[in-house]
């Protein structure tokens, strides 16, 4: 296991949890994502996997608003929410369906908690 990562185990995939995503980006942009599944990290934190409908990239958020990046072999590393949003929306302007409000996406990325680079 890579230092600074937590292993995770796939959890339930039947009951979507939207609040972490709503808290981070707001209701207007939440419609761009699908809730995929829940992961239980080794420290018993619940992590929710959201997939962007256009970029097909994942955004992993905990219920307390922290963001994580998937590391191959079933582990997760905490990252700044702003960096996680940048990754999830990467190249979205060139994809279809085209975003209806690109300014809202940029604003959400700027507002993201923990705006560390």
* pLDDT 10s digits, 13-32: 899 999 999 999 988 888 88
Taking residues 88-113, report their average pLDDT.
70
Domain enclosing residue 83, as ranges: 5-111
**Which band of pLDDT confidence, cut at 50, 70 and 90, is reported for residue 4?**
confident
Instruction: Give me the pLDDT at residue 116, please.
Output: 46
Is residue 113 predicted with pLDDT exceeding 80?
Answer: no
d(CA 104, CA 44): 33
Contact 81, 65 (CB under 8 A): yes
Structural domain tally of the chain?
1
d(CA 78, CA 69): 6
Number of H helices, E strands in the chain: 4, 6
Contact 50, 87 (CB under 8 A): no
**Which band of pLDDT confidence, cut at 50, 70 and 90, is reported for residue 115?**
very low
Locate 62 and state its tokens.
């905990």
Instruction: Give me the pLDDT at residue 100, please.
Output: 66
Does 116 map to a domain? no
Taking only the tens place, the pLDDT of each residue in 38-97 is 999 999 999 999 999 888 999 999 999 999 999 988 899 999 999 998 898 887 766 655
Taking residues 99-107, report their average pLDDT.
70
Does 34 map to a domain? yes
Does 55 map to a domain? yes
Does 75 map to a domain? yes
């Amino acid at each position: 296991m890579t230092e600074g990562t937590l292993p995770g185990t796939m959890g339930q995939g039947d009951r979507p949890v939207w609040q972490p995503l709503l808290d981070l980006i707001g209701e207007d942009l939440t419609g761009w994502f699908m809730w995929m599944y829940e992961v239980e990290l080794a420290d018993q934190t619940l992590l929710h996997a959201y997939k962007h409908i256009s970029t097909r990239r994942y955004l992993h958020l905990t219920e307390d608003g922290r963001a994580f990046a998937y590391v191959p072999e079933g582990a997760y590393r905490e990252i700044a929410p702003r960096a996680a949003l940048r990754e999830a929306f990467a190249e979205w302007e060139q994809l279809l369906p085209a975003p209806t409000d690109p300014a809202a996406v940029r604003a959400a990325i700027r507002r993201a908690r923990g705006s560390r680079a």
